Structure 1
């Protein structure tokens, strides 16, 4: 019996090496390199973590069995405590393994669950890096380019066909139109224009999806930045933040609660659109996109997406942008005017993700289609 306990302890020591390697790679300056690392949580790495943790649980159970159950000298109170302990450890371990494969979209890609979501749903990916199906046999079709950020890319939508770009293609007729989705999470106006220039397809129609934080780089030039958010810094217990950052079950629980003050983004946006030293350069950035559309003889349409849970304030912030496009006779879909029949909770993809739901994407596609067919 002693020899079996010793071999289990030896195996635990050996298992500690891959455990540390897999869960704490940054402590030994190791990085896992795979496509879109940091955005997506690799399935095979998660599988290796799960198997290693399972082997650790088995060895702990083996130690409990030979050290307590099979030990005639074990104290009854100690045995009861050990029984409760091994049950708790196994429950926590099995939950940890289960949460290695549970996905949930969030505002960004900070949580483990959101990285699993990206690995599971952020596809297909084109050679240019966009979440879209490669287009074929498009020679005789009109090309519609949908330019934007995470709202255009369909952040939080499990199926790409739920996005307004894909729905618009169906409405226009996929036999006559090819709609290219050029949405990138975190993109702003300057980045969008650069990507538009690099994209190998020239538009017959250009759709710009606009969100209030698209002014970010212009604001940064004027030394106005969003309040830096450092996840896990609000956990004050020493060492706990490091564990929450690395392990899936506590990480999932942590991200079920808000950790960034909502006022930070609204304050940033309000200051940005009322400061002419920020607004005017931003309008010049937008003018480059308008000029690009004109240079390609492409009718342009704009979708103004508000903060979906704070619509009225969004409208006030971005009114100068709406006026800018309207004055140039560019049709604008003011999404806030069409959300009345959709309850606030149904406008977003989830309680931890404020991106537009499939219902809202349907509204955008409907309104864009009406404007395109009305011209």
Structure 2
């Protein structure tokens, strides 16, 4: 009977792979995992029943064995459950984070961004440049991101307005500038407005250039653990999920790093020169340039001290318009402000507030 169960499940999986050869690798892997969990659970229960009937152990041993089998069976069920529990993580190493991106990080257009396909026949074009904040990490559906809320609202006013989101995860100011230039050259679409979404870690690449420790640099997941524990955590969705619920001291030290980076005048000036160059590029093409500033979502007040106020003053001195977005959601509880307890990207509520505020701003600009 036990062999029949195992062979039946393996046969089903093999037939599925043969009949559907184009199944994504992760689907096949998930299927194999579920099959193994199911086989282990059945084999364990049948083996336990066999031992009880053959050895006839004392009641105490029987009860202890039942407890062990129950615990293992529960862990197997939880493992199967966590295989289908996507959840973003700010660092990005967790298996749940990979599940989330695999399930929700779409659609992609021909330019490789998580957005609709741009068209060339629109009268007014607005480009958003940015990182994972504007790209929508933690936001399941693109229509809930603030650039898309702007798109939806403005299209109700004028169907000839097109909003293009070029934001991608892990970009910095220079790479955001490059992505806009490459898009304009390859698409032939001329933007009327460019909105640069800014976040505190955009200074990282310049800080690294000057020898400072960058965002997440030197961080090695599972480094403090022995080989067996690392193997368990990398292979188990359940234990991997629980491990990444614990904050890392490496990541917690980021505030000290960012304070030093923005306090260094050489680093700060070279970094701001990137935004000035971005603005000059836009002005040369008769395009309005505008910067929207996000705070550290867990430390709004501290963000003003670290970089928001300093950047706002600098941009004003260069006649570059900016908007401090923190005023929109500073009164929200942290739990309502971020995606989840391990991912400090903006929540749905924050995206809605930012989208509505930018809609008001852009409506006024476009009516001039």
TM-score where L is the length of structure 2: 0.85
5 Å matches for 1:190-209? Answer: 190-199=174-183, 200=187, 201-209=189-197
Q: Deviations over 1:2-59 (max 9, x none)?
A: xx78x69xx79xx9xx9xxxxxxxxxxxxxxx99xxxxx9344223211122122222
Q: Distance in 1 between matches of 2:355 and 2:126?
A: 13
Deviation at residue 184 of structure 1 after TM alignment: 1.1
Q: Distance in 2 between matches of 1:261 and 1:147?
A: 29
The equivalent residue for 2:19 is none
In the alignment, structure 1 residue 86 sits paired with structure 2 residue 75: no
What secondary structure, in the 3-state scheme, does the structure 1 residue paired with 2:166 have? Answer: strand
1:328 to 318, 329, 337: 318
TM-score where L is the length of structure 1: 0.83
The equivalent residue for 1:345 is 335
Over 3 Å counting, the alpha-carbon distance change for 1:214 and 1:205 in structure 2 is same
The equivalent residue for 1:163 is 145
Over 3 Å counting, the alpha-carbon distance change for 1:310 and 1:54 in structure 2 is same
Q: Is the 8 A contact 1:303 1:334 kept in 2?
A: yes
5 Å matches for 1:179-194? Answer: 179-194=163-178
In the alignment, structure 1 residue 145 sits paired with structure 2 residue 96: no
The equivalent residue for 2:220 is 230
Deviation at residue 348 of structure 1 after TM alignment: 1.0
Over 3 Å counting, the alpha-carbon distance change for 1:288 and 1:42 in structure 2 is farther
Q: Is the 8 A contact 2:300 2:330 kept in 1?
A: no
Q: Which consecutive residues of structure 1, in runs of 5 or more, have no partner in the other structure? A: 19-33, 36-40
5 Å matches for 1:205-354? Answer: 205-226=193-214, 228-235=218-225, 239-261=228-250, 263-318=252-307, 319-354=309-344
Deviation at residue 188 of structure 1 after TM alignment: 0.8
In the alignment, structure 1 residue 361 sits paired with structure 2 residue 351: yes
Deviation at residue 111 of structure 1 after TM alignment: 0.9
Q: Is the 8 A contact 1:333 1:367 kept in 2?
A: no
Larger helix proportion of the pair: 2
Over 3 Å counting, the alpha-carbon distance change for 1:61 and 1:173 in structure 2 is same
Deviation at residue 339 of structure 1 after TM alignment: 2.3
Aligned Cα RMSD in Å? 2.8
Q: What is the total number of aligned residue pairs between the two structures?
A: 345
Over 3 Å counting, the alpha-carbon distance change for 1:173 and 1:267 in structure 2 is same
Q: Distance in 2 between matches of 1:43 and 1:104?
A: 18
Q: Distance in 2 between matches of 1:47 and 1:132?
A: 30
Q: Deviations over 1:46-76 (max 9, x none)?
A: 23211122122222222222232x3155454
Over 3 Å counting, the alpha-carbon distance change for 1:116 and 1:106 in structure 2 is same
Over 3 Å counting, the alpha-carbon distance change for 1:260 and 1:45 in structure 2 is farther
Q: Is the 8 A contact 1:96 1:248 kept in 2?
A: yes
What secondary structure, in the 3-state scheme, does the structure 1 residue paired with 2:286 have? Answer: coil
Q: Distance in 2 between matches of 1:244 and 1:264?
A: 24
